[in-house]
Amino acid sequence: MKGDETKRPPGYLKHKGSGQAYVLIDGRAAYLGVYGSPESRRRYSRAIAEWTAGTWTGRASGDPTVADLLAGWWRWAERHYLKRGRPTSEIGVAKGVVQILLDLYDDLPARDFGPACLRTVRAEMVRRGWCRTNVNRQVLRVRAIWRWGVAEEIVPGSVLPGLDAVRGLRRGASEAPERPRVRPVSETSVAAVQAAVPPVLAAMIEVQLRTGCRSGELVILRAGDLEMLREPETVWLYRPASDKSEHLDPATEKVVLLGPRAQEAIRPLLTADPAAWVFRLPAGRGSRGGPTAGGPRRRRKTGGRSGRTVGDRYTPDTYRRAVQRGCEQAGVATWHPHQLRHAFATEIRRVASLDAARVLLGHRFAETTEIYAEADRTGALDALRRLG
């Protein structure tokens, strides 16, 4: 549309998520490069001149650059990666590789980003100390961004076969470090920490150890979420309001089973209010677990993307930090709550079966459960002893 000289020109704007400058013309965003850079200023001036002359094509330069592609993908991702109206972790996880792409190739035409460029990006991840599995996941994420660009007709489909040809790093065949395997925490260490922390935190640790639930499921437990069955034997059912994998199969409901020891830990914390959090922060402590000023606690929002309100219950982060402080107070090696889930999986795998562990952990596939459950070698050692 031809520009009107009496109309104020569109402004030079900053996209907060990606750090890119852009101009919004006729409802369409054109990305200009890194905000504040001389190149982005030149592109902005050119775009306004074309808009005024009526020759605006919808792009700030000839071919869309990597910066253009990433900014467009970011805007799409912020709308797409939502769960119950809140951003998922995908955006935060993608920030690192997006920044590397901008650092190395922001002004490269997106259509010219080929296998050599992807290998260079991968080498930069390794140089920054990223573990091998994370590097491979991020390479897949780069491919997904370009695949999105093909679907949006930002880049030609001919770029995808070359990117797909770049294979993932193999164990022991690169300089990328291996991610340390998460090991189950010992019950001795757990007991030492439970003795050193407040009762509510000790109860949380006990429930996670006896159910194998995730920290995110544990902290949102309300009294009204529990269903107490008595036939054929006493068992409590907990259906979390939010489940990490619910988007994979919305028809499948996550249920956490609570046996006698988990029930015993929870029972003193239950109130008559079904909406009350079971694991409330100790009186006089804020969301960081530290003392608060006199008077009622002020509810505030976390600094993260989700804007969750905290102050009256633990969150996964405050729970993790509280456990770490408990390890320091107890004088034991630091462990984190996710190791309780691994300990539960290992014990169930030992006394029952892999399939039983899969059901109790809420996994869709037994292969996932194998990652959590340490192999029980007791039977194999007994057989070796008998054989001499």
Domain boundaries, the chain: 66-164, 187-279+314-372
Residues 6 or more apart whose CB falls under 8 angstroms from that of 344 comprise 208, 209, 210, 211, 212, 360, 361
On the question of pLDDT at 280 being above 50, the answer is: yes
Count of beta carbons in the 10 Å neighbourhood of residue 277: 17
pLDDT of residue 360: 52
pLDDT tens for 54-92 read 776 665 555 788 988 998 899 898 888 877 677 777 888
Cα–Cα distance between 155 and 153 in angstroms, integer?
Answer: 6
CA 202 and chain centroid, separation: 26
pLDDT of residue 351: 54
Q: Mean of the pLDDT values across residues 205-234?
A: 83
Higher pLDDT, 234 or 133: 133
pLDDT of residue 387: 41
Provide the whole-model pTM: 0.57
Closest CA to 209 of 87, 359, 111, 340: 340
Residues 6 or more apart whose CB falls under 8 angstroms from that of 47 comprise 23, 25, 30, 32, 56, 60
Q: Which two tokens stand for residue 281?
A: 């922060």
Cα–Cα distance between 61 and 70 in angstroms, integer?
Answer: 15
Q: Reduced to 3 states, what is the DSSP secondary structure of residue 127?
A: helix
pLDDT of residue 180: 75
On the question of pLDDT at 131 being above 50, the answer is: yes
pLDDT of residue 363: 42
On the question of pLDDT at 189 being above 90, the answer is: yes
Q: Using a pLDDT cut of 90, give the percent of the chain over it.
A: 31
pLDDT of residue 237: 84
pLDDT of residue 78: 87
Q: Reduced to 3 states, what is the DSSP secondary structure of residue 23?
A: strand
Q: Would you tell me which CATH number, out of the four given (1.25.40.10, 3.40.50.280, 1.10.443.10, 3.40.1710.10), belongs to the domain 187-279+314-372? A: 1.10.443.10
60, 31 contact by CB (below 8 A): yes
Average pLDDT along the chain: 77
On the question of pLDDT at 355 being above 50, the answer is: yes
DSSP labels, 264-328: HHHGGG--S-TTSBSSBPPTTB-TTSSB--SSSPPPEE-SSSS--EESSB--HHHHHHHHHHHHH
pLDDT of residue 123: 93
- Confidence class for position 1, pLDDT limits 50, 70, 90: very low
Q: Using a pLDDT cut of 70, give the percent of the chain over it.
A: 73
